[in-house]
Amino acid sequence: MTLTNNPPATKPTLTQRGSSALGDRIFSWWTLGTGLLVLAILGLILITTVREAWPAFDAMGLRFITERVWDPNPATGDAIFGALSFAYGTAVSSLIALLFAVPVSVGIALFLTELAPRRLRGPAVTVIDLLAAVPSVVFGLWGILVVAPALVPIYQWMHDVFGGIPLLGRLFGPVGSGRNFMTAGLILAIMVTPIITSITREVFSTVPRADKDAALALGATRWEMIRGAVFPHSFGGVVGAVMLGLGRAMGETIAVALVIGGATNITANLFSPGNSMAAVIVQQFGESTGTFTAALIGLGVVLFAMTVLINVLAQVVVRRAEARMKGSVA
Amino acid sequence: MTLTAPPAARPAASGPDLTRAALSGRRRFTNHLATSAIWFAVLLAVIPLALVTYTVIAKGGGVMSLSFLNEDIPNSYRREGGGMGPAIVGTLLITGMAALMAIPLGVFGAIYLNEYGKQRPLARVIRLMSDVMTGVPSIVMGLFIYISWVLLVGEQTGFAGALALACLMLPVVIRSSEEMLRLVPDELRQASMALGARKWKTTLTVVLPAAISGITSGSLLAVARAAGETAPIIIVTGIVFSPNWNLFDGSNTALPAQIFRNASQPFEAAQDRAWGAALTLIVIVLGFTIIARFISSRFAIKER
């Protein structure tokens, strides 16, 4: 037999040139362009908001963040725009939120990864998903019309019991309407729990099976196994998850605007009304003009810078923790 | 042989006791305490969900009717009756327009990350920044669109709201679509390339269809999230009291904005409308979420 008998008259060309190659290049550029859109939007947000807020920054200088007075329409003299009170409100409400949300989220994540019988795992995940799906404005509505009035007697009781203690008592001062830092923190806690839970759960599930089995084989109880094998392994990831939750809590606008009470106020009293940066923007933007608008946009700039910073740090921490985890499994 | 040894000869007393009873009281107590604390945490998450759902259904159900879904919004908070028709129209139009803009762009961005960029430095930066963009507060996105669109056009429109929601959806769509593209087996790509298809053709006709169910469900979840966004809508779309079907001309409104405005009023009529709007919004959002879950569970790529 002759294998080289009938050579094809024309060899098929396996490298096409021309229009199709051009199509490839256009397609890759187009996808790259859409990818770059993310960077473009983030850059544009920074540039346009800073430019638009400049009149306020220019008028106030550094006092914009160190001044606690916020008076857009004073009877005499120039308007004063100091963001300190609102920054304080943002910080206090977010910290209260984390104080409640972190233990609960870690607990739920442990439940899902270590404790839950298979039958209960699905429903528990659904509960978390649904909590994440409820729009924040609905939590706000529930907060202002149901939770705030319902909590007043409890706040009053706490004020009566703890109010007399020196120093600590200042946290539990006189109670007003129930719309205050504490209520805002509690509503925020409900809203950040799903985020912290889902990331913490992913981190916990990367703990090597062998480590857990080894701990149990040495006679550890389940709790000792969690403390000795799960926690040390996932510390970095949990820190990242908490920071992501913090970023979300700081940026949450509507629910806080409804339940925090709307007062420009720096006080240790958790039962006193206050305001947060995001909430002020949405409450006052409609009636603002000129430098007032610029000052509100300035609050947005500060908020943007802070949340981006926290998110970048959190992502780096989570990524590093995940990378280390993969290394240890291999 | 050892088999013949009688059981009674086993030195029972000297062997370690491995039963639970051998644990010290303190260790057993701590373990019980931790277990109960974990169960308690789950309970703490269930309670608010149950309470919110119950209240919204109870109070919203009271005002719900066909006319509530149809009628115009009263232009005074004090007045009884009226409905949420314009807000429902606004929510559907604005969210729909946002989805039309964000989903195609997001999917192409995901194609860049997974098919072209992979682990290159630029792709890693884009990936990190999409995650960061997910965390940008919605109010900041509202301010951004206000400055770069509303001030430019000179009026608050529904389209401005759609732009803001699209910006919020974009990173979510990119990251969820990328996850789905990553699940597509490489053999499919290689087979298509071996048949002589160009990379763009392979991507559009082989990879994308293989991942389309996951991409759809991820995008629907992003749409559901966006439908509940309030702050940007309040800042960039203004307010109307009768339906505005034109996104490009004149102000508009949406359910979340109506809930916010009515919730802070002391009048019972306004609060009732807020509950009704909340029930409508939750039904819309849950609808999207359930469809997304159904698609992802029914048509998902089986991981090998």
Nearest CA to A134 among B271, B265, B56? Answer: B56
User: Least CB-CB distance to A137: which of B111, B128, B259?
Assistant: B259
Q: Please check whether residue B184 lies inside any domain of the structure.
A: yes
Over range B2-26, report the average pLDDT. Answer: 63
Per-domain boundaries in chain A: 70-329
Tell me the HSE value of B216 on the side-chain side, using a 13 A CA sphere.
18
Closest B-chain CA to A281: B139
Q: Does B46 touch chain A (CB under 8 A)?
A: yes
pLDDT in the model for residue A330: 38
Domain membership flag for residue B51? no
CB-CB under 8 Å, B170 with A131 = no
Residue B5 lies in a domain: no
Position B96 confidence tier, pLDDT thresholds 50, 70, 90: very high
- Per-residue burial over A209-226, b = 16 or more CB atoms within 10 Å of its CB, e = otherwise: eebbeebeeeebbbbbbb
In a domain, B1, yes or no: no
User: Between residues B253 and B7, which one has the greater pLDDT?
Assistant: B253
Report which secondary-structure segment, H or E, holds A81.
strand A80-81
- Best A19, A25, A30, A31 member to test B by mutation, with max B CBs in 10 Å, is A31
Nearest Cα of chain B lies from the Cα of A206 at a distance, in angstroms, of: 18
How far apart, in whole angstroms, are the C-alpha atoms of residue A212 and residue B46? 28
Q: Are A49 and B151 in contact (CB under 8 A)?
A: no
Assigned domain for B63 exists = no
pLDDT of residue A223: 93
**CATH code for position B212:** 1.10.3720.10
> How many angstroms separate the Cα of A186 from the Cα of each of A198, B44, B261?
19, 12, 22
What does the pLDDT look like over B179-216, one tens digit per residue? 999 999 999 999 999 998 888 989 999 999 999 989 99
- The residues pairing with A274 across neighbouring beta strands, listed in sequence order, are A261
Give the Cα separation of B212 and B300 in Å (integer). 9
* Range scoring the smallest mean pLDDT among A124-133, B106-115, B252-261: A124-133
Share of chain A above pLDDT 90, in %: 59
Nearest of A93, A268, A246 to residue A169 by alpha carbon: A268
Is the Cβ pair A24, B198 closer than 8 Å? Answer: yes
HSE-CB at A132 with a 13 A cutoff on CA atoms is: 21
pLDDT at B163 over 80: yes
How close, in Å, is residue B189 to chain A by CA atoms? 15
How many Cα atoms are found within 13 Å in the side-chain-facing hemisphere of A129? 15
Question: A70-329, what's its fold?
Answer: MetI-like fold (1.10.3720)
Residue A20 vs residue B128, higher pLDDT? B128
Closest Cβ–Cβ partner in B44, B196, B274 for A141? B274
Is A97:A193 a contact under the CB 8 Å cutoff? no
Say what the pLDDT of residue B2 is.
Answer: 47
Per-residue pLDDT for A221 more than 50?
A: yes
List pLDDT tens digits, range A154-193. Answer: 999 999 988 888 888 888 888 888 899 999 999 999 999 9
pLDDT digits 0-9 by tens, A255-283: 999 999 888 889 888 999 999 999 999 99
- Cβ-Cβ contacts under 8 Å, B49 against chain A: 127, 130-131, 134
Which of A285-289, B85-89, B120-124 bottoms out in mean pLDDT, i.e. has the lowest?
A285-289
Range of the domain at B142: 80-299
With a CB-CB cutoff of 8 Å, which residues 155-174 of chain B face chain A? 167, 170-171, 174
Which of B19-23, B130-134, B164-168, B201-205 is the least confident region? B19-23
The whole-number pLDDT of residue A12 equals 59
Q: How far is B5 from chain A (nearest CA, A)?
A: 29
Total residue length of chain A: 330
In a domain, B95, yes or no: yes
Tell me the pLDDT tens digit for each residue of A269-321: 899 999 999 999 999 998 888 899 999 999 999 999 999 999 999 988 888 87
pLDDT-derived band at A24 (thresholds 50, 70, 90) equals: confident
pLDDT value of position B174 = 96
Average pLDDT estimate for B213-231: 92
Compute the distance between CA of residue B170 and CA of residue B126 in angstroms, rounded to an integer.
12
| Dist. CA A256–CA A184, nearest whole Å | 5
**First vs last Cα of chain B: how many Å apart?**
49
Residue B141, chain A, CB below 8 Å: the answer is: yes
pLDDT above 60 for A3? no
Segment of A65-69, B142-146, B248-252, B267-271 carrying the highest mean pLDDT: B142-146
**H or E segment to which residue A296 belongs:** helix A290-329
Average pLDDT taken over every residue of chain B = 89
* DSSP state at residue B118: T
B26 domain residue, yes or no: no
Res A22: pLDDT:
84
Q: Does B105 touch chain A (CB under 8 A)?
A: yes
Report residue B300's pLDDT band, with 50, 70 and 90 as the boundaries: low
Dihedrals phi, psi of B19, to nearest 5 degrees: -75, 165
B39 touches chain A (CB under 8 A): yes
Residues of B whose CB is below 8 A from A34:
105-106, 108-109, 112
Half-sphere exposure of A183 (CA within 13 A, CB side): 36
Spatial contact of A71 and A80, defined as CB atoms under 8 Å apart: yes
Residue A57 CA to residue A316 CA, distance in Å, equals 31
Six token digits for residue A296: 């509100």
Instruction: State the pLDDT at residue B157.
Output: 93
Total structural domains within chain B: 1
Q: What is the residue-averaged pLDDT of chain A? A: 89
Q: How far apart are CA A65 and CA A251, in angstroms?
A: 17
How many other CB atoms are found less than 10 A from the CB of residue B277? 32
Please, are residues B266 and B77 in contact by the beta-carbon 8 Å criterion? no
Q: Who among A35, A49, A193 is closest to B109 (CB)? A: A35
Tell me the CA distances in angstroms from A318 to A170, A305, B178, B210, one per residue in order: 37, 20, 18, 30
- Neighbour-count burial of B10, counting CB atoms closer than 10 A to its CB (0-12 exposed, 13-18 middle, 19+ buried): exposed
B260: three-class secondary structure by DSSP: helix
Residue in chain A nearest B44 by alpha carbon: A104
DSSP state of A252: -
Q: Which residue has the tokens 């509530």?
A: B68
**Which amino acid would we find at residue A326?**
K
Q: What pLDDT, on the 0 to 100 scale, is given for residue A79?
A: 87
Test B289 with A129 for CB contact under 8 angstroms.
yes
Indicate whether A244 pLDDT > 50.
yes
Q: Which long-range contacts (CB under 8 A, 24 or more apart) does A7-14 make?
A: A14/B196
- CA-wise closest residue to B134 among A30, A318, A99, A127: A318
What residues of A are in contact with residue B40 (Cβ under 8 Å)?
Answer: 107
CA distance B68 to A236: 50
Confidence of residue B75 (pLDDT cuts 50, 70, 90): confident
Evaluate whether residue B285 is within a structural domain.
yes
pLDDT one-digit tens code per residue, B168-177: 999 999 999 9
